[in-house]
Structure 1
Amino acid sequence: MTIKISNRIAHSPPLATTAMHARADALRRAGKPVIDLSIAISHFAAPEPVAAAVEAAVARREAMPYADVIGEPAVRAALADKLRRENGVEAGVDEIIVTNGAKQAYYQALYALTDPGDTIAVFRPYWPAYLATARLLGLNVVLADLPDTLNEAALDALGPLRVLVINNPHNPSGKVYGRAELELLRDWSARRGVCVICDESYEHLVFEGRHLSLAALGGWRDPGVVTLFSASQSYAMMGWRVGFALAPAPLVQAMQSLQGPVTAAVPHLSQVAAQAAFGSGAPHALLRDYRARRDAVVARCAALPWMRLPAPPAGPYLWADVRRLTHDTLAFAESLLEQALVAVMPGEALGLHGHIRLGYIQDDAATLMEGIERIAAFGDGCAVRAVS
């Protein structure tokens, strides 16, 4: 007997981001000297206050019962204080839900806000999970190119929507939305009755400019702004799988109703870690290191005639335009991994041909630059063969 897989999942491939990372890991386990730039995994450890808080909790041998599904009251109170102190947002504990990372918060928010057949909009290039989740929920997705500056014409062109998804800072371009853009978005969404899911997972990874939360401008409860936060990138805590969402209280309750039967609460120790992380402030040493790495890669690639690589104002990724060499970056990435043993994310996986995404924050700096040298040599070779 052949087991039947549901239509919901049968034609849903694994996320391209995790699939490429898995391939790189498999080659490494096979003894190949692969350098993986396809994903952003920080070489930093979690902040010291996180380690201290978790070690203290374990040392006390304190009871670790099932936590509240929505998040422990003390943790949500600390997160409300973080929102007030760092983001300029006044929120009650009933407007905060602690989740197993930003992915879960996004899934639950989208699930609670939409019904099958509803339409959402996502700007490209995009984080692949935005689309994968929408397809699992049976939603229609409108895709539009991310404008250099958000404007009313670009928003109007999206057509009738239930939800608009943005992230600020943006993955993979590193764009940081300015106050005028966010005010325009707030006013437009209020007029149109469009809910906004704003992913602010990279809030602390800003090199130029200043991150401003959409919710800080007011009016976020109606028609509804959901703000997603994650410890993964801002605090180098990828494996802790913890984040939280800020949303109007009725939506938080709906998200909790979904989280309960799926995963229940975030593990107790991860909540201890989250409280310590989100209370520790901006990661200044991490930012200095990332800025130096960013600048080193951009400087090296400036001499490549087939690549345009601007220095992003934020984020753990570089978004390289290689259209002078090829528009088929899926084939480019496959050949690069096979021949040069470097993994990158092809632009097709994020909605745009002719680009590649480079995660530049893992391994040591020498390994990073070795990966860039391999990419440069591979691309130069492709360029020579194209001419001859």
Structure 2
Amino acid sequence: MRISEKAKAISPSPTLAIDSKFKQMKKQGIPVVGFGAGEPDFNTPENIKQAAIKAIENNFTRYTPASGTLELKQAVCDKMEKDTGLKYTTANVIICNGGKHALTNAFMAILNPGDEVIIPAPYWVSYPEMVKMADGIPVYIETEEENNFKFTMDQLEAAFTPKTRALVINTPSNPTGMVYTREELQEIADFAVKHEIYVIFDEIYEKLVYEGQHINIATLGDEIRKLTIIVNGMAKTYAMTGWRIGYAVAEAPVIKAMSNMQSHATSNPNSIAQSASVEALTGDQSFIDQMKAEYIKRRDYMVKRINSIEGLSCREPHGAFYIFMNVKGVLGKEHYGRMIHTAHELCEDILDRALVAMVPSEGFGLDGYVRLSYATSMEVITTGLDRIEEYLQGKSEKIVYSDNSLD
């Protein structure tokens, strides 16, 4: 069958094979544990769920405006003013079907064929594919662990060309958990203003900062504010991944363009989830501190434990809920009669033998690392790290399972 060239150019996630294998093994009753979760393991707070139930009971089940309800847009504006001091109107806000949809809309709104978008690596796996879907060209900056996985200004200057249209900044970062400082963001803002390029500012993990402070780049002056497209959502802060509500905040012409496209592609986000999101933004926020406290306990345990295992190391993440573990010390070596050269091969073998699922770093644009999520229980964390250490000590055995367990 004929498939478009654009569709054929979009790469599937390189982690899908491991994830599929993990699910097959779990379905067969094999006691696998996973560090792959990109979502909180907490339940959505009760007040948010009750707001959704109330919306259903009040028959709030019909179409809303395609770009979202005025009530939720205003809640976003109020949240922005409270958190950043920035005053926006509802004309500056679009409500989307998740943060991923907001990002896709943003790239579609600002890119013409051949426009370039600078993406620091390691990056969230979907950024390059979103740029490609918008007919843009991703341009990568490979960062160094020694610099906390942050690019230098010299690297940014070298990546810039006359075709550069935008720069993606994700802070706190998926997959590294690093957080940009005010000083670092000011340099980036000055660069963007100088070259008149957009900053796609993905702050989906903004409330999950453990050291330092989350700074929104749009607060660093009127000129950079006009060039910033802020992307956020309800998923990570309020444990609402399945509710699929994200939003973007930007200059009105950008939001209008995004809204026009959304009106034809998906129309409005779920009406009930929008009502629940109003409660999330305006209601009791104590849940966030409780969640953060638990994440810090898990992070601290994992950092200490990983750095005690020969061949492994990691830096302490300052935000989000991921650890980007350096596995270079165990690559290029023979494990159980097999030479393991890449992080992907290591993850495959550890899943087979130690029954632990992890996300290899190739999908994030670097090799030699593995992403571990601590959005999971301490029991899973301790069991998983025990098994990884036993694997590296030569104490694991290959598990035999069927590849045909899924319908």
Taking structure 1 as the reference length, the TM-score comes to 0.93
How far 1:334 sits from its partner (Å)? 1.1
Deviations 1:69-120 (A, max 9, x none): 1110011011100000013221111001011111111111001100111111
Q: Is the 8 A contact 2:343 2:360 kept in 1?
A: yes
Partner of 1:103: 100
Q: Is the 8 A contact 1:112 1:251 kept in 2?
A: yes
Q: For 1:349, what is the secondary structure of its paired residue? A: helix
Query: 1: CA distance between counterparts of 2:129 and 2:17?
Result: 13
Task: Pick the aligned partner of 1:74 from 57, 71, 76.
Answer: 71
Query: 1: CA distance between counterparts of 2:181 and 2:344?
Result: 33
How far 1:369 sits from its partner (Å)? 1.2
Query: 2: CA distance between counterparts of 1:330 and 1:260?
Result: 40
Residue type of the alignment partner of 1:339 = R
Partner of 1:24: 22
Structure 2, unpaired ranges of 5+: 332-340, 397-407
Partner of 1:343: 357
Q: Is the 8 A contact 1:198 1:214 kept in 2?
A: yes
1:365 matched to 2:362:
no
Query: 1: CA distance between counterparts of 2:276 and 2:303?
Result: 34
Partner of 1:324: 329
Partner of 1:157: 158
Q: What is the number of residues matched between the two proteins?
A: 379
Partner of 2:192: 189
Q: Is the 8 A contact 1:189 1:223 kept in 2?
A: no
How far 1:207 sits from its partner (Å)? 0.8
Q: Is the 8 A contact 1:69 1:264 kept in 2?
A: yes
Q: Is the 8 A contact 2:74 2:90 kept in 1?
A: yes
Residue type of the alignment partner of 2:75 = A
Task: Pick the aligned partner of 1:167 from 144, 162, 170.
Answer: 170
Query: 2: CA distance between counterparts of 1:77 and 1:41?
Result: 26
1:254 matched to 2:246:
no
Deviations 1:19-54 (A, max 9, x none): 543442232123222212123232211123211211
Partner of 2:336: none
Q: For 1:166, what is the secondary structure of its paired residue? A: strand
Q: For 2:120, what is the secondary structure of its paired residue? A: strand
Query: 1: CA distance between counterparts of 2:21 and 2:88?
Result: 42
Task: Pick the aligned partner of 2:119 from 115, 119, 122.
Answer: 122
1:15 matched to 2:29:
no
Query: 2: CA distance between counterparts of 1:209 and 1:221?
Result: 22
Task: Pick the aligned partner of 2:51 from 46, 50, 53.
Answer: 53
Deviations 1:162-207 (A, max 9, x none): 1111101111111111111111111110110111101000001111
Q: Is the 8 A contact 2:358 2:371 kept in 1?
A: yes
Q: For 1:232, what is the secondary structure of its paired residue? A: coil
How far 1:339 sits from its partner (Å)? 1.8
Q: For 2:323, what is the secondary structure of its paired residue? A: strand
Query: 1: CA distance between counterparts of 2:71 and 2:115?
Result: 36
Residue type of the alignment partner of 1:358 = L
Query: 1: CA distance between counterparts of 2:44 and 2:19?
Result: 21
Partner of 2:4: 6
Structure 1, unpaired ranges of 5+: 384-388
Query: 1: CA distance between counterparts of 2:34 and 2:63?
Result: 37
Q: Is the 8 A contact 2:99 2:245 kept in 1?
A: yes
Taking structure 2 as the reference length, the TM-score comes to 0.88
Query: 2: CA distance between counterparts of 1:312 and 1:267?
Result: 34
Identity %: 29
Q: Note the aligned Cα RMSD (angstroms).
A: 1.9
